[in-house]
Amino acid sequence: MTKLPETTFPAHDPIYSCVPHGQFSIPATGSGLLNGLTFAVKDIFDIAGHPTGAGNPTWLATHPVATRTSPLVEQLLAAGATMTGKVITDELAYSLNGDNMHYGTPVNVNAPGRVPGGSSSGSVAAVAAKLCDFALGSDTGGSTRVPASYCGVWGLRTTHDLLSREHVVPLHTSFDTLTWFAHDPATFTRVGEVLLPASNFVPKRLLKPQALWQLASDDFAVPLQQVLDAVQAMLGVTAETMSFTRDTETLEQWRQAYVTMGAAEAWALHGAWILEHQPTFSVPISARWALAQAVTAAQAQTAQNKVAEIRTHVRAILNDDAIAIVPSAAGLAPLLNESGDSVERLRMRTMHLTCAVGISGVCQVSIPFKNSAGVPVGVSLIGPAGSDLALIRLATGCEINFQIN
């Protein structure tokens, strides 16, 4: 494929969101719904003629320059948007915090002194700072839903396999999805109208997963209730309080199944490269790779069987007519100097929240709010597989119908 034309990337990046090798821009190749908009790209997406770093300098040094461009990037350029650079990701997208030991931590302008969240850290930070109109990210275990909550922007985890993952560095192929952030609902919707297929989904039932609500800090209580009240009024239904899990199972068992199966997939993809090149990873990410290496074939198969059961179960709960309201994360964005133990405890609670959608492969939209102190929190709508565009329109309709704190 011919290398896309480019111009010089603006040097001014006050929030440190761009990677050194990502300082270039590419003008729109066509005209359409995104005319005049700008977007940044997480550094796991290939751009022809440029290297893909995946958040790690050893990866950057040991992989060839991309010869093809992600189809999603091509779609956005063809619809009139201009790409303004490649931005930081947590190493190989294997984290939720947003601090990269090699490239730094992008500034969270909506929560100063706090991390932006990962692994789509540069994407969410650039959107929050309004350096671009929207940004491409990814979500495997929560890497769009959680940063959207931490930074106070709109975010979507797409239905698994709905968007092409060609020419994107994978992590867990059974759970990886490609996503985007936007700082306003109109732009968020316009991107969806370009990338997503039409959806005729009309929700008739509303679910309140009580166990998931209880995982979130008190900061989420008011916006959760606001969204619940607004959606009940919009749909003319009363929410059903329920649990996603079956009586004999816990969310921790679900998380363990997700982690084990994902780790096995990640090691199958990248284990040989890690053993050959011995890259330097941060302590938490290094520990995850060590766990991945230790997963046995029997453990992986057991986890895969459990994941298949959970997927069927969650999809049956939603069927083709229900949405659920949940917190997008379990707490506020951690402080930059927060202890490792505290960050890990929050990550575990958040994974209990995010694993059900990750496993089941359905879609989730995060709506931005703030707590009483002005710190961002996110509330999400979960919809059946393939309902992405209809779910976006429902979520943005909610935003119009009530005051966001």
**What is the C-alpha to C-alpha distance for residues 361 and 318, in angstroms, rounded to an integer?**
12
pLDDT at 372: 87
Examine the domain organization and report whether 376 and 229 are in the same domain.
yes
Domain membership flag for residue 65: yes
Domain membership flag for residue 200: no
Examine the domain organization and report whether 237 and 325 are in the same domain.
yes
Examine the domain organization and report whether 137 and 265 are in the same domain.
no
388-401 and 221-235 are packed helices; what angle lies between their axes, rounded to 10 degrees?
Answer: 110
Domain membership flag for residue 50: yes
Query: pLDDT tens digits, residue range 238-293?
Result: 999 998 998 889 999 999 999 999 999 999 999 999 999 999 999 999 999 999 99
**What is the C-alpha to C-alpha distance for residues 24 and 43, in angstroms, rounded to an integer?**
13
- Selected catalytic residue, list 121, 123, 143, 282: 143
Examine the domain organization and report whether 164 and 242 are in the same domain.
no
Query: pLDDT tens digits, residue range 89-124?
Result: 999 999 999 999 999 999 999 999 999 999 999 999
Examine the domain organization and report whether 184 and 255 are in the same domain.
no
∠ CA 78-80-86, nearest 5°, is: 80
- Selected catalytic residue, list 17, 70, 119, 138: 119
143 is catalytic: yes
**In which domain, by residue range, is 173 found?**
7-195
Examine the domain organization and report whether 215 and 229 are in the same domain.
yes
CATH number of domain containing 107: 3.90.1300.10
Examine the domain organization and report whether 53 and 136 are in the same domain.
yes
Binned at pLDDT 50, 70 and 90, residue 398 comes out as: confident
Number of domains in the chain: 3
Query: pLDDT tens digits, residue range 213-223?
Result: 999 999 999 99
Examine the domain organization and report whether 143 and 275 are in the same domain.
no
Examine the domain organization and report whether 43 and 146 are in the same domain.
yes
Residues 6+ apart with CB under 8 A from 297: none
**Is the pLDDT score of 401 beyond 80?**
no
**Is the pLDDT score of 44 beyond 80?**
yes
**Is the pLDDT score of 226 beyond 50?**
yes
Examine the domain organization and report whether 269 and 341 are in the same domain.
no
Q: Is the peptide bond before 119 cis (omega within 30 degrees of 0)?
A: yes
Q: What is the mean pLDDT of the chain?
A: 95
Domain membership flag for residue 321: yes
Examine the domain organization and report whether 44 and 138 are in the same domain.
yes
Query: pLDDT tens digits, residue range 333-346?
Result: 999 999 989 999 99
Query: pLDDT tens digits, residue range 281-314?
Result: 999 999 999 999 999 999 999 999 999 999 999 9
Domain membership flag for residue 1: no
119 is catalytic: yes
What mean pLDDT comes out for the span 195-208?
Answer: 97
Of the two residues 403 and 152, the one the predictor is more confident about is: 152
Query: pLDDT tens digits, residue range 133-170?
Result: 999 999 999 999 999 999 999 999 999 999 999 999 99
Examine the domain organization and report whether 34 and 171 are in the same domain.
yes
- Selected catalytic residue, list 17, 42, 121, 328: 42
Domain membership flag for residue 2: no
Domain membership flag for residue 201: no
Q: Which of 161, 195, 229 is the C-terminal boundary of a domain?
A: 195
Domain membership flag for residue 285: yes
Nearest Cα neighbor of 305 from 268, 367, 253 is: 253
Alpha helices in 111-220 (DSSP H): 121-128, 145-151, 185-195, 210-215
